[in-house]
Amino acid sequence: MAPASVGAFSFSVVLLVSLNMRLDLFHRRSFWFLLGLGCRLLWAPAWAQIDLALYTDHLVNGFQDWSWATRNLTNTTPVHSGTQSIAVNATQYQAISLRHSDFSAVPYSNVVFWAHGGATGGQVLSVAAVVGGQSPAQLNLPPLTANTWHLFTVPLTSLKAATATNFEGIIIQLQHGSGVFFLDDISLSGAPLPSAIHLSVDATHPLRGVERRWEGLNTAIWDGNLAKKMTQTLLQDLGTTVLRFPGGSVSDEYHWASNRSLTNTWQWNTSFHQFAPMAKVVGADVIVTVNYGTGTPAEAAAWVRDSNITNHYGFRYWEVGNENYGTWETDTNVQPHEPYTYATRAAAYFQQMKAADPTIRIGVPVVDGENSFDNGYTGHTVVSPRTGAKVNGWTPIMLARLKALGVVPDFLVYHSYPEYSGSESDPLLLQYATQWARAAADIRQQVKDYYGAGGDTIELLVTENNSNSGNQGKQSTSLVNGLYLADSLGQLSRTEFNSFVWWDLRNGADTTGSMDPTLYGWRKVGDLGIVDATTNTYPTYYAYKLMHQFFYQGVSVLPSTSDHWSVSSYAVRDTNGSVQLLVINKNPSATNHVTVSLGGFTPLTNAAVTQYGVLQDSAVRDHTGWIGLATNSVTGVGTNFTLAFPPYSLTLLTLYAPAPILTVTGLGSTTVPTLNLQLRGKPGAAVEVQNSTNLTHWKSILTNRLDVPDGFASENVLALPDGAYWRGVYRPDLN
């Protein structure tokens, strides 16, 4: 039986439709599907694999030229395709080396390229993969043919790199021969996709509760619409629970009282006292970043006092500076970006700010990697208590200095942008979300090593995340960045990070970043905001909105696994017993057929579907179809079921728990009227009995656990006047 499709929508007429969709990474293809009354839309997969280009007419997907040979990457003749190729004039053992920061090679099967022997031919090339800085194997190829292009396909298995999770690139080396030769269309070909992908959910062993601060957004003083009603409405519609102010790197130049930066005579568009009332109306927690780079502890303390004592805003979270380890930040100290200096000054910030309001919580910026961001300073080396190694990185020295000064930071601030200008890659960006677990473990280990006793109380927060911290191109406003947002928050939810604050609400249009055709997307502008200067939305807006429907207060994060890299899955369980499953199809072109197995949970056969993907994003461009989150339902679900998920999509399934059965078995005392109730349902489950007089507002009366193995329980409750209603509700959070 063909799997049901959760990209399903019903129409009253039958149409045969051809979609000529331009997926920029690939050639133009056609999709056909049938829409009929009561029918579901089922995409037919058009590609069996996903390739990763290294060189087309130039280096793409973030690969860099690390070659040691005379070469020309913009050669115009001969070319295999396009307008340019790589001309190589090498001597023996010189090579073309194309490198990247490490990534997983599991999605790929072969190194594929075209080579041309030039006027002489006869050159013998070898191919090697770079894995963790080493080349585990090298394979010699047949001699090149003069004046002829030849296709070479080298299996990653032959290079001992097929399962590498730290793949860094390839080396094409001249072993014998001479004369100029040419290379073109270099790629890693995708591994064949399985006929079915398997997801599993364990509904009985929650990992942790959902954290309110996972639904945050950065805001900025340059946003002239920040304090307006339209922004308040937008934030409330999104369910935003955290707002950060005044806006990243500008924080270390910003003087809050004058609403100016540095010695500027002009004021920013939105002041703190315009922002604060809006944040209070929205009901968001606020994180304020005070000026470390050009400010003083007294200035920061005055800000706390003005906010929480004078104006009673009650803003609890305060950061001392923004990314002060980075040389891109303004820092006028004698030793800028130096961790010992930072910690020493930060101690004064802590003392004066907490004197102004002892209830606030203060955080400091950290990085993963104990040797990261030493910035050339070696005057305050610390020794790792585990390895005995001498380290000069930002986080160890800062933590050790704070410990020596008797300062316990309330939280540590971590930021993540996996890409920078020119390194954009859609398939590799969608690998990066898995880095959260490694980062959280690394930072916690540094706290144990360099702060020691008392560090267990220090919380880990993420107050900035997006795809690219450099110049912005079309990836930032494409559907891919929306998928990354959802995947990133999903992975973070499995760690101890207690906040997720996306950068940002409004950032500003940018056309200086990559518009390369290897990147998916149709917008000709970059922007890290989820909306433009007004309220026009990008895909990240809808991803954020869908995640609010998934992660909300009171639900528990469940273990969920996928056996294939192209699908991410996340699950939560609500207090009413229902389970929600988020499935992200990261394949740009193929429908993924997914078999879901639910452990410890038997749902009703009908499930609600909320979805955002290619169809909804394209509707904005084409001014036709459904714009925004699409909703529908699907039937045939159970403890094991199979569904089809369309390309590049976010799909949220709500799987409903059967309600416990509540029956009246008799009346109790006539002097004190009572009802004899019997509960029947899942053996061992906790059930809450509730009553109501209007079927809208329900009051908890008692909680009982159903007997094992028969699933029964009996209770006597006080009877209410006529018109009272009773019900039983599962409470898995009490199990």
What confidence tens digit (pLDDT) does each residue in 320-347 have?
999 999 999 999 999 999 999 999 999 9
Task: For residue range 423-432, list pLDDT tens digits in order.
Answer: 999 999 999 9
The two structure tokens encoding residue 166:
């730290």
Q: What percent of the chain has pLDDT over 70?
A: 91
Q: How far is CA 539 from the centre of its chain?
A: 13
| Bond prior to 297 in cis (omega within 30° of 0) | no
Q: What is the DSSP string of 658-712?
A: PPPEEEEEEE--TTTTEEEEEEESSTT-EEEEEEESSSSS-EEEEEEE--TTT-E
Judging by DSSP bridges, how do beta strands 242-245 and 216-218 pair with one another?
parallel
φ, ψ dihedrals at 272, nearest 5°: -60, -40
Q: Which helix (H) or strand (E) holds 674?
A: strand 674-680
pLDDT given at position 28? 24
CA-CA-CA-CA dihedral for 22, 24, 29, 35, to nearest 10: -50
The interaxial angle of helices 479-492 and 435-450, nearest 10 deg, is 40
Q: How far is CA 92 from the centre of its chain?
A: 45
Instruction: Tally the residues of the chain.
Output: 735
Shortest CA distance to 661 belongs to which of 683, 684, 686, 680?
680
For 248-290, list the strands marked E by DSSP.
254-255, 260-261, 285-290
* Residue with tokens 């009246």, as numbered in its chain: 664
CA atoms within 13 A on the CB side of 60: 23
Comparing 64-78, 94-108, 450-464, 613-627, the range with the smallest average pLDDT is 613-627
pLDDT given at position 37? 25
pLDDT given at position 554? 87
Task: For residue range 505-551, list pLDDT tens digits in order.
Answer: 999 999 999 999 999 999 999 999 999 999 999 999 999 999 999 99
DSSP 307: I
Residue 279 carries which side chain, given as an amino acid letter? A
Residue 48 neighbours by CB under 8 Å, 6+ apart: 190, 192, 193, 590
382-401: average pLDDT: 97
Do 701 and 727 contact (CB within 8 A), yes or no? no
- Assess whether pLDDT exceeds 80 at residue 718: no
The two structure tokens encoding residue 430:
């969608």
In the chain, the N- to C-terminal Cα span, in Å, equals 37
Count CB-CB contacts under 10 A for residue 654.
18
φ, ψ dihedrals at 724, nearest 5°: -85, 145
Do 309 and 356 contact (CB within 8 A), yes or no? yes
Residue 521 buriedness (CB in 10 A; 0-12 / 13-18 / 19+): buried
Q: How confident is the model at residue 36 (pLDDT cuts 50, 70, 90)?
A: very low
- Assess whether pLDDT exceeds 80 at residue 16: no
* Residue with tokens 């959280």, as numbered in its chain: 440
Do 521 and 479 contact (CB within 8 A), yes or no? yes
CA 72, 74, 75, 81 dihedral sign is: positive
The two structure tokens encoding residue 515:
């518009």
Shortest CA distance to 503 belongs to which of 257, 212, 251?
251
Long-range contacts of 695-702 (CB under 8 A, 24+ apart): 695/725, 698/727
Shortest CA distance to 479 belongs to which of 11, 3, 18, 21?
21
Comparing 221-225, 437-441, 576-580, 628-632, the range with the smallest average pLDDT is 576-580
- Assess whether pLDDT exceeds 90 at residue 369: yes
Strands of the sheet with 699-705, listed across from one edge:
699-705, 686-692, 725-730
- Assess whether pLDDT exceeds 50 at residue 392: yes
Shortest CA distance to 732 belongs to which of 657, 652, 678?
657
> Whole-model pTM?
0.88
- Assess whether pLDDT exceeds 60 at residue 13: no
Q: What is the DSSP string of 597-623?
A: EEES----S-EEEEEEEHHHHHHHHHT
- Assess whether pLDDT exceeds 90 at residue 735: no
* Residue with tokens 């860094």, as numbered in its chain: 168
* Residue with tokens 């908890």, as numbered in its chain: 700
Residue 197 neighbours by CB under 8 Å, 6+ apart: 562, 563, 564, 566, 567, 592, 593, 594, 595
